[in-house]
Structure 1
Amino acid sequence: MLQRPLNRSSFGFRWQSILMPLQALDWQLLILTISLTTLGGLMIRSAELNAGLTDWWWHWVIGGIGLTIALLIARSRYEALLQLHWVIYAITNCSLVAVMLIGSAANGAQRWINIFGFNVQPSEFAKIGLIITLAAILHEKPASTLGGMFKVLGVAAVPWMFVFLEPNLGTSLVFGSITFGMLYWANANPGWLLLMASPVISAILFNVFFPAWFVWVAAIAFIGWRCLPWPLFGGIGALVVNVGSGFLGHLLWGLLKDYQKERLVLFLDPDKDPLGGGYHLIQSRIAIGSGQLWGRGINQGTQTQLHFIPEQHTDFIFSAIGEELGFAGCLCVLIVFWLICLRLVIIAQNAKDNFGSLLAIGLLSMIVFQTVVNIGMNIGVAPITGIPLPLLSYGRSALLANFIGIGLVESVANHRHRLKF
């Protein structure tokens, strides 16, 4: 029996059938994401070089797993999540409740669940769950009315409360940034968003800079009068709420743990406790400043190699970049983050529906807030909140959640021009 000749075109067809579902991916976004993850592994290795740890290796392993998951998600149709968003919301809240019941504690907070020997942090995946849920809700009804906006706030308040009670102040702030960013993109009145944030700002100003508090309260009362449906009641209500929030600031301060209070205050003057709560900030600024323009070189930073900064591979990874890659390296990292954000905005603008557009904006809000706060605390202009630097800081749950978010946005880009079968 004669053997059939090898049909070389069949191999091309097979490769084409594999790549066809991914042909419309935003490859720029994917390459930028992989680049930051690769750099993160290098800097984590440098921060742990003399400690005998293998977190850098795990960072790359989880990055590879995350990339595979992201590509699988990108092949799938993101619209299917519209039918599952309440299921995802329920799973999100149940996981956060499970942390409070059976989670393990560290540094005064209960945030992790041990699964087969791995510590999983559900609050990181809850960020993605919140983005999916809010995107589905705002897809059905935009936030152009007060009713629609309050529905979103009510949905977001439940997981936010669970995270705040862990306590995890940093992640609860990320939840707030995601919610505000998605509300703004869904046509919520900017004045309403400012009114929602005003009580927190009022409480801070009342206790930090009292003269500015009077100006703030007067401005918010004017905004309430101009933006709310009932001008007189809106203005008076905004005034009363902000005055009350100022006086309640002391009570709210008492709800925070001691280590959270130190993180919020010491960044203003870390020299008050140079060997305690201010130690991280002081050493981080020394490391970044010593890098100068071009840096000391990979594995050559004195602050990094001598481990002057505890847990540098997590929240303070940017200080290692500043010392060993210098101002030029820090600038390159900032440019890459800016390009990632630019791609997310472009995908949001070109999405074929509001759901896909809101998914991209939700991830954008998360990345922007975490990047600004993390770098801010590394250079001493923001309090230490425990927020990781996306894709660069070590954290298996955080890295995997970031790749899941990237996969969702890539699905939006991949299917923006396709019709349903």
Structure 2
Amino acid sequence: MLINKTLRKWFPWRTWIQPWDNIDRWLLLLAIGLTVFGGILIRSTQATQGWTDWLQHWTIGAIGVAIAMTIATWPYQILLSLHWLIYAVTNLSLIAVIAIGTSELGAQRWISVAGFNVQPSEFAKVGVIISLAALLHHRPATKLSSVLQILAITFVPWALVLVQPDLGTSLVFAAITLGMMYWANANLGWIVLLFSPLISGILFNIPPTSHWLWIIWAIWLVTIAFIGWLSIPVRMIGGLGALLINLGSGVLGRVAWGFLQDYQKARIILFLDPEQDPLGGGYHLIQSRIAIGSGQLWGRGLDQGTQTGLSFIPEQHTDFIFSAAGEQFGFVGSLLLIVAIWLLCMRLIFVALNAEDDFGSLIAIGVLSMVIFQVFVNISMTIGLAPVTGIPLPWLSYGRSALLTNFIAIGLVESVANHRKKRRF
């Protein structure tokens, strides 16, 4: 007690920061650093147009930091009693988009609030994380009934996002769900079975140009049937059910293809060979690869990129912000950026491992799953390894709703860190 009084007398500023005394400072600093760097990249893509999106990015980032710091002081356990309310608000906001939302770029994803377009599907990611964390806290995913409950709860917001249509965000929901179920001790075989119909839907709709493809199909079906036999309690039903579902997903894949918008079909087809339509659907990917390749080892330098400076890449300040980093800072700069994101993810894992309870640990893992999936898909699509899905690069891409969502998520994780037991040395 005497030591504490002496410290407060000598260092009065410690009293001011006491509410955040146990937060993960590295996690917060990495998020802020990525936001600052994102603003620099956004400015470099719009230097010739005179737009101020970079300034808005920093402003929203500052608001996001304030929100995160506020959330960090609140005990996150209060969300356990509010998770159904949060779930209801999440779904109602997604329904409101369908009813009164505004359309841009072929999708209805935004609601206009005081002159600003708000994207509820971004905030829905946090709502889903809180809802699933609360459910898995009470019922771990060690039983098949618990897994089915989680899937049913996730299906409603997932379907509401998919009909907007927003395929990218719906995939983020799937990644969050699978990541959290794995952390909640779900059988790994169940997770593979849940993911397998997507693979089958793609694999069985590839034209059989070689006899090797028939062999691959056969191996895949045998493997999935064996996993179902091994992991489902009633083995015969598990093996046969997994086989039939994956066979049926091939047919459903063709049906689902018919529901996709024309631009979504073009994105899926053209990422394999963007030169088929170099001035249309393949233009983004071609220009992005040119930009990243021209950066070589050390990059052209800030504001010195030709593809970036002359705006050859559409949406380069949002979905394709990584191409600006690759062109101006080269392979070394891109690698350092990925390392920074990796360190942030490691801090999320550290918080999850040291959380006070399962609820806090699951929140951190939910945020980790969201970040990892978005980073992987965004970078993959800019270098031509994945279709263009419109998924932003966390803290770097311009987008007010996405940036606020990321800082709200960080605030929740910081609350988990701030309210854990303090270590004694």
Pick the TM interval, shorter chain. Answer: over 0.9
Cα contact 2:301–2:329 (8 A) shared by 1: yes
Q: Show the counterpart of 1:412.
A: 416
The corresponding residue for 1:339 is: 343
C-alpha offsets along residues 126-160 of structure 1, whole Å, 9 cap, x if unaligned?
Answer: 00000000000000110000011111111010000
State the partner residue of 1:327: 331
Any residues of structure 2 matched to 1:261-272 within 5 Å, and which? 261-272=265-276
Q: Are 2:244 and 1:240 aligned?
A: yes
Q: Equivalences for 1:202-281 in 2 at 5 Å?
A: 202-208=200-206, 210-211=213-214, 212-281=216-285
Distance in 2 separating the partners of 1:335 and 1:156: 31
Deviations 1:192-232 (A, max 9, x none): 01111111111110012642222111111111111101011
1:301 equivalenced with 2:299 (yes/no): no
* Matching residue's letter, 1:207: N
Please list every run of 5 or more consecutive structure 2 residues that lacks an aligned counterpart in the other structure. 1-5
Per-residue CA deviation, residues 42-68 of structure 1 (Å, 9 max, x unaligned), is 000000111121100000000000000
TM-fit CA distance, 1:354: 0.2
1:403 is the counterpart of 2:411: no
For 2:225 and 2:385, the matched residues in 1 are separated by 30
Q: Which residue identity does 2:247 align to in structure 1?
A: V
CA distance in 2, matches of 1:11, 1:65: 32
CA displacement at 1:381 relative to structure 2: 0.5
In the other structure, the counterpart of 2:30 is 32
Q: How does the TM-score come out when normalised to structure 2?
A: 0.95
SS at 2:112 equivalent = strand
Letter in 2 for 1:231: R
- Tell me the secondary structure at the aligned position of residue 385 of structure 1: coil
Q: Which runs of 5+ in 1 are unaligned?
A: 1-7
Within the candidate set 51, 56, 59, 2:57 is matched to 59
What residue is the counterpart of 1:69 in the other structure? 67
The number of equivalent residue pairs is: 412
Q: Percent identity?
A: 60
User: Alpha carbon RMSD of aligned pairs, Å?
Assistant: 1.4
- Deviation string 1:22-58 (CA, Å, 9 cap, x unpaired) is 1111111111111100000000000011112110000
- Paired AA for residue 347 in structure 1: V
Kindly report which structure 2 residues correspond to 1:139-218, keeping only aligned pairs within 5 A, or say none: 139-208=137-206, 210-211=213-214, 212-218=216-222
Partner SS state of residue 17, structure 2: helix
Q: Distance in 1 between matches of 2:36 and 2:88?
A: 34
Instruction: Give the one of 14, 17, 20 matched to 1:19.
Output: 17
* Secondary structure of the corresponding residue to residue 207 of structure 1: coil
1:42-121 alignment runs, 5 A limit: 42-121=40-119
Match of 2:109, SS? Answer: strand
Residue of structure 1 aligned with 2:319, choices 315, 319, 338: 315
Q: State the shift of 1:13 in Å.
A: 7.4
8 Å contact 2:8–2:15 — kept in the other structure?
no
Matched with 2:3 is none
Give SS of 1:113's match.
strand
2:351 counterpart letter in structure 1: I
What is the SS of the residue equivalent to 1:111?
strand
Number of the residue aligned with 2:287: 283
2:8–2:14 CA contact under 8 A, matched in 1: no
Distance 1:358 1:157 in 2: 19
Q: Paired residue for 1:356, among 351, 355, 360?
A: 360
Q: Distance in 2 between the 1:277 and 1:183 partners?
A: 36
Aligned to 1:5: none
User: Offset of 1:14 from its aligned partner?
Assistant: 5.7
For 2:129, the equivalent position in structure 1 comes to 131
- Rounded to whole Å, the distance in 1 between the matches of 2:239 and 2:76 is 42
Q: Separation in 2 of the partners of 1:14 and 1:112?
A: 46
Say if 1:9 and 1:389 are closer, same or farther in 2 by CA, change over 3 A: closer
Deviates more, 1:231-240 or 1:314-323: 231-240
Partners in 2 of 1:190 and 1:248 — Cα distance? 25
Q: CA deviation at 1:15?
A: 3.1
Whole-angstrom CA distance in 1 between matches of 2:327 and 2:198: 35
Look up the equivalent residue of 1:278 and give its one-letter code. Answer: G
Within 1, Cα distance between the matches of 2:35 and 2:10? Answer: 31
- Mapped to 1, the partners of 2:237 and 2:8 lie a distance apart of 72
User: Amino acid of the residue matched to residue 294 of structure 2?
Assistant: S
In structure 1, the partner of 2:374 is 370
Q: CA deviation at 1:18?
A: 2.1
Report Cα offsets for 1:105-144 as digits up to 9, x if no partner. 0111000000001100000000000000000000011000
CA–CA distance in structure 1, aligned partners of residues 148 and 270 of structure 2: 35
Which of 296, 299, 303 does residue 292 from structure 1 map onto? 296
Alignment partners' CA distance in 1, 2:225 and 2:307: 49
Q: Which moved more, 1:163-172 or 1:224-233?
A: 224-233
Letter in 1 for 2:159: M
Pairing of 1:383-398 with structure 2 (within 5 A): 383-398=387-402
